[in-house]
């Protein structure tokens, strides 16, 4: 059975063409295994499903990128950041890979990897959207965490807890080998950032969210208003004339649905709620890119297949799969 092609984003010149980047990178945090996620998701049939069931034309180099050549041997901590040069070099490369698909008007799907890779993906789409459409893009960040730590205030020093700080310029570093390559065209406005699913936010992050008036819907908001109303409010904040990059951390889901992830937090979204968010974002017709990150098949390995299935389901939902 072929589903009706609901593939349409008004901001893409090739809405049925999907640029896929498989990023086997784990250097934004300390646990091994997250680099195996792209392979696991692809082996589970994700790309085949997108092609056969949802009619996408897949553009993929058939390579899982581990970026070995970009990772320096010496990488001492800098401003409390762990592996800063590795994360910087990898995300700089990734940024241009994503940009190259997005500048052609293709949808870009990135399979991580830990969430530090969003420094590459979001900077790449933001730049392409600015050039092609002369517009600023919005980011919907679905996560248990805000990933907004400025290096000095991070409790862990892990860069996967910092990507949104660099992408909004709340954190800045001029050294070219440590994120100094991020230019104005790569940056996202704090006004165009919306969080959904938050429940483990560090003190300094809470202060930044408040100070900068960043729109954030926590699990408390979802309990109070329901997922339907929360997604409606999130999309209303962005407005209907703005391209959207969806960055989905699988730990937004409750560990019941996604146990195999590096920093699980109880009290999260059901898989159905996660899929619902993705379906609604797709329905806007404004989605131009998506990341799926933090699947770690080697943690809680009895639940790995379940976590991978959940990840595949989220991506399909964002790309237009429907229940009916
Ligand atoms: N992408 C993630 N899973 N991030 C978790 C971040 C946890 C914590 N806030 C930190 O800065 O270390
Ligand atoms: Mn997270
Ligand atoms: Mn995250």
Give me the tens of pLDDT residue by residue for the chain, a chain 324 residues long: 444 455 568 999 999 999 999 999 999 999 999 999 999 999 999 999 999 999 999 999 999 999 999 999 999 999 999 999 999 999 999 999 999 999 999 999 999 999 999 999 999 999 999 999 999 999 999 999 999 999 999 999 999 999 999 999 999 999 999 999 999 999 999 999 999 999 999 999 999 999 999 999 999 999 999 999 999 999 999 999 999 999 999 999 999 999 999 999 999 999 999 999 999 999 999 999 999 999 999 999 999 999 999 999 999 999 999 999
pLDDT for the residue numbered 2: 46
Residue nearest to atom 7 of ligand 1 (CA): 161
Nearest to 59, CA basis, from 9, 109, 125: 109
Ligand 1 in reach of 199 Cβ (< 6 A): no
pLDDT for the residue numbered 217: 99
Distance from residue 157's CA to the centre of ligand 3 (Å): 14
pLDDT for the residue numbered 1: 46
Distance from residue 141's CA to the centre of ligand 3 (Å): 8
pLDDT for the residue numbered 81: 98
Distance from residue 260's CA to the centre of ligand 1 (Å): 15
Most ligand 1 atoms within 8 A of CB, residue of 118, 156, 163 to mutate: 156
Residue nearest to atom 6 of ligand 1 (CA): 161
Scanning the structure block, which residue is given the tokens 């699947």? 295
pLDDT for the residue numbered 137: 98
Has the ipTM of the complex gone over 0.95? yes
Token pair of 212 as six digits: 């900068």
Q: What is the pTM of this model?
A: 0.98
Ligand 1 in reach of 316 Cβ (< 6 A): no
Q: Hey, which residues are catalytic here?
A: 115, 143, 145, 147, 160, 249, 251, 294
41's CB contacts (< 8 A; 6+ apart) are 111, 292, 295, 308, 311, 312, 315
Contact 294, 261 (CB under 8 A): yes
Q: CA-CA distance, 68 to 48, in Å (whole number)?
A: 27
Distance from residue 163's CA to the centre of ligand 1 (Å): 10
Ligand 1 in reach of 147 Cβ (< 6 A): yes
């Amino acid at each position: 059975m072929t589903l009706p092609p609901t593939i349409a984003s008004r901001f893409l010149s090739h809405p049925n063409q999907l640029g896929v980047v498989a990023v086997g990178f784990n250097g934004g945090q300390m646990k091994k295994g997250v680099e195996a996620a792209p392979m696991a998701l692809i082996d589970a049939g994700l790309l085949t499903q997108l092609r056969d069931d949802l009619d996408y034309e897949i553009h993929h180099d058939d390579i899982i990128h581990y970026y070995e050549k970009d990772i320096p041997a010496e990488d001492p901590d800098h401003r409390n950041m762990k592996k800063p040069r590795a994360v910087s070099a990898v995300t700089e490369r990734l940024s241009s890979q994503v940009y190259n698909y997005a500048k052609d008007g293709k949808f870009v799907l990135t399979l991580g990897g830990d969430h530090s890779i969003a420094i590459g993906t979001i900077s790449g789409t933001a730049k392409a959207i600015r050039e092609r459409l002369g517009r600023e893009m919005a980011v919907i960040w679905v996560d248990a965490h805000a990933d907004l730590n400025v290096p000095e205030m991070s409790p862990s020093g892990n860069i996967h807890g910092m990507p949104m700080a660099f992408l909004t310029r709340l954190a800045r570093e001029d050294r070219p080998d440590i994120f100094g390559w991020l230019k104005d065209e790569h940056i996202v406005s704090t006004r165009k950032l919306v969080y959904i699913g938050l429940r483990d936010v560090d003190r300094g992050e809470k202060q930044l969210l408040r100070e900068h008036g960043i729109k954030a819907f926590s699990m408390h908001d979802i309990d109070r208003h329901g997922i339907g109303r929360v997604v409606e409010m999130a999309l209303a904040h962005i407005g209907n004339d703005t391209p959207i990059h969806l960055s989905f951390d699988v730990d937004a889901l409750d560990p019941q649905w996604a146990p195999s992830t590096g920093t699980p937090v109880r009290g999260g979204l059901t898989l159905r709620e996660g899929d619902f968010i993705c379906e609604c974002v797709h329905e806007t017709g404004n989605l131009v890119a998506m990341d799926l990150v933090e699947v770690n098949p080697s943690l809680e390995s009895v639940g790995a297949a379940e976590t991978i299935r959940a990840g595949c389901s989220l991506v399909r939902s964002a790309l237009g799969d429907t229940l009916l």
